[in-house]
Chains A and B, each alone.
Chain A
Amino acid sequence: MTTQRTKRLALVAVALMAMPAFAWAENLTMWVRDSGATLTTRVIDHWNKTHPGDPITLSVIPHDQMVTKFATAAAAGEGPDLLSLDLIFMPDFMKAGFIKDITDLMAKNPNIKKVVQAHLDLATYKKRLYGVPFTPDNSILLYNKALFKQAGLDPEKPPTTSGEILAAARKIRKLGPDIYGWYFSGSCPGCNIFTMAPQMWAAKGTVVLPAGCEAEPLKGESIKQVLTNYRTMWKEGLIPQGAKVDPGANFMSVFMSGKIGMQGSGNFAVGLLKEKAPNIDFGIAFLPGPNKGDASSFAGGDVLTIPAASKHAAKALEVLNWVLTDDPQLEVYAKTGNLPSRTDLAKNKYFDADPRLTKTAQALAVAQTPWTFHFNDMSNDNSSPWIEMLQTAIFEGDVDGAIAKAKKRMKQIQCE
């Protein structure tokens, strides 16, 4: 039996539920993916502290669903005022018109000329600019100096070619039954486009993901060379068995056990290792290609954009401008060991304290990012031709067949 009061309370509760949640709060809203939440929260907190009159409300979206959620919202004319989007998805959304063109609005900002070129490239469509670099990260070669020393390798001379990686891995494997030379997440498409692909395109002229229907996918000898290198390491047992099924869950944790000689990783590893595994003496190097002198990196991370459906575009623009100024770049990014988007700030007092951080900043200079439509279909989705090629070539051994099949599938996706 409900009393009058209970009935009234129930009515109020239902009314609350029925109100759109933003009815009374006119804050700027912003979305970011969970894998980038830590740094982004720091940046936004800093903005909120220095701009108490224009607070930003941040919402964290699971990265697997970020693109879906934004596309669904944008198609319906909904969405946040600011969007931190993984730069690899920019081409599709720029083409679809879901993101605001900020070319003219940004023209007056001097900082825009001093930022990571790869990010600017990904945020450009038909010569118009649609976003600014927000939370850059890049890939590097991570190696365990202690294990190097034990194996008789010079800890200050990390491998500079694929062949040297193989040789080092062999030596390190001999150190013990549960010590391995190399690690990679064998079921993580994103991790490998991040760490394996740069080893391929370090050789000039290589194309991993084509820019459109006319371009040839997976062009270049180095594709086969790098895949064969991995295959050899797998066959010789230089990689732990669990690597085959790791969807990225153990991307860092296995190296943190101190039993891995080398692996491709990201700049974020520096801070993470210092915090969670301080006993490991690790080094940072560029990801090498098959030939001597080739090195590269994947310039990844998020760009900050204003969705076309944003209701507070003018205010949002202020945030974009602010993010590139010295204060956040140094006091939030550099101070916490993260790469600043401003390349002129790569050398700063925080980074000088740890040469490994400087190395990660230098890697940004040789970094590339593939500009392609349907990045998800081509690479990051679990059914993509990229991951299928990797798994077939490395775990099943058919390198040529894997490449041929992947070429066909990629061409099909681009030309549909």
Chain B
Amino acid sequence: MSTIRYRRSSAIGLVYVAPALLFVGFLTLYPFAELIVMSFYNSSLLGGSSFTGFNNYVKAWNDAFVWNALRFTLKYTLFITPILMGLGYLAALLTAGEQRLQKLTRGIIFLPVVIGLGSSSLLWFWLFDSQVGLFNKLLQDLHVISAPLVWFGDAELGLWAVIISIVWKVVGFGMILFVAGIQAIPHEIQEAAMIDGTGYWQRVRRITLPLTYRTIMLATLISAIGSMLAFEQFYIMTAGGPTNKTISSVYWIYTNSFTYFKLGYGATLSIILMSIIFAATAVQITLTRQQRDR
């Protein structure tokens, strides 16, 4: 049953992969290679560029903004990832069945995933506005707060405003991944546990969670990478404020490359950020693999 010639043919396989490879090579890897080269020059979009070796990297090391942005981005990632994964998983547990209400809820939770991040951020920017926004009004009407909050006037509140908006937009994505994982669990296992008299949450802890472990790791990884690369939501909602306290790493890269025209330095910052993400991903994947092989 295994002597199928074409299946073993690596040549044909390569033919199938080649178009995508060329495409990615041309439109992603080539500019990326240019980026690496640019990071060793102090080129400016306004003209003029000279080789500066590792100067840009040293400059980044000494740049307080780089460290603050990194700290902030890590903080954001560490806050939002558990929230997204936790709420996503709970939503998946709630809606994993086949009843109509469950399917409807699932569909509606997923709905914000298909609208753009820019549109969503503008929408929440308006909702959180202290003069014309309805979020404050809602909270006041529900008697949660007595006076309107100035969400973007405080770095912590601003961070939470962004987190709330992103959770609304993205929780459906994790939920769908988890629903797929949960639905793949064979029913016999669930029944066996029910007959044994195990409670619902115990079942979740002992059966559902372990059997969806890979999904959870995958979803967490994708979510974390996305959060480390967060930019648009901060650009639109907080504009990095107040006093530059909510600038994310990519926001600082954008500012340097596009506002200050410092292409070389912007390239350096991109390389640094990517290396961090790449290293973290490699560690995570290795740990997952070890866990699985155990």
Contacts and interface: CB of A to CB of B under 8 A. Distances in A.
B46 interface: yes
Contacts of A245: 130, 150-153, 241-242
Contact of A96 (B46, B65, B247): B46
Nearest to B260: A377
Interface in B230-263: 239-244, 247, 252, 255, 258-261
A354 to B, nearest CB: 29
B49 to A, nearest CB: 11
B41 to A, nearest CB: 14
B45 interface: yes
A187 interface: yes
A231 to B, nearest CB: 15
Contact of A241 (B45, B150, B239): B150
Contacts of B129: 242, 249-250
Contacts of A388: 243-244
A242 B240 contact: no
Given A68-B259, A97-B47, A241-B153, A187 B242 contact: yes
Given A245-B130, A377-B259, A382-B241, A75 B45 contact: yes
B105 interface: no
A253 B255 contact: no
Given A245-B241, A247-B239, A383-B247, A92 B46 contact: yes
A242 to B, nearest CB: 4
A244 B151 CA distance: 10
Contacts of B45: 68, 71-72, 75
Contact of A382 (B132, B239, B261): B239
Contacts of A96: 46-47
B198 interface: no
Contacts of B50: none
Contacts of A343: none
Range, interface on chain B: 20 to 34
A382 B240 contact: yes
Interface string A246-262: 11011001100000000
B146 interface: no
B131 interface: yes
Contact of B47 (A75, A377, A382, A396): A75
B230 to A, nearest CB: 16
Interface of A is mostly: helix
Contacts of A246: 131
Interface string A62-73: 000101100110
Interface in B243-294: 243-244, 247, 252, 255, 258-261
B152 A187 contact: yes
A374 B151 CA distance: 31
A391 interface: yes
A241 B243 contact: no
Nearest to B152: A245
A281 to B, nearest CB: 22
B65 A395 contact: no
Contacts of A387: 241, 243
A67 to B, nearest CB: 8
Contacts of B242: 187, 244-245, 391, 395
A376 interface: yes
A93 B247 CA distance: 27
A250 B153 contact: no
Contacts of B240: 382-383
A71 B132 CA distance: 36
Nearest to B42: A416
A388 to B, nearest CB: 5
Nearest to A67: B259
Interface in A64-92: 65, 67-68, 71-72, 75, 92
Contact of A383 (B65, B150, B152, B153): B65
Q: Which of A67, A97, A187, A249 has the most CB of B within 10 A?
A: A187
Q: Which of A381, A383, A392 has the most CB of B within 10 A?
A: A383
A20 to B, nearest CB: 19
B253 to A, nearest CB: 12
Contacts of B252: 383
B152 A391 contact: no
Contacts of B148: 241-242
Interface in A29-48: none
A95 B241 CA distance: 31
Interface in A357-416: 374, 376-377, 381-383, 387-388, 391-392, 395-396
Interface in B43-57: 45-47
Q: Which of B130, B239, B247 has the most CB of A within 10 A?
A: B239
A68 B44 CA distance: 12
B261 A71 contact: yes
B233 to A, nearest CB: 14
Nearest to B59: A416
Q: Which 7 A-B pairs have the closest CB atoms?
A: A245-B152, A242-B130, A96-B46, A244-B153, A382-B239, A68-B258, A245-B153
Interface of B: 45-47, 65, 129-132, 148, 150-153, 239-244, 247, 252, 255, 258-261
Given A241-B148, A254-B131, 8 more contacts: A187-B239, A241-B153, A245-B130, A377-B259, A382-B239, A382-B241, A383-B244, A383-B252
11 contacts: A68-B45, A68-B259, A187-B241, A245-B150, A245-B241, A250-B131, A376-B259, A381-B260, A382-B244, A388-B244, A396-B243
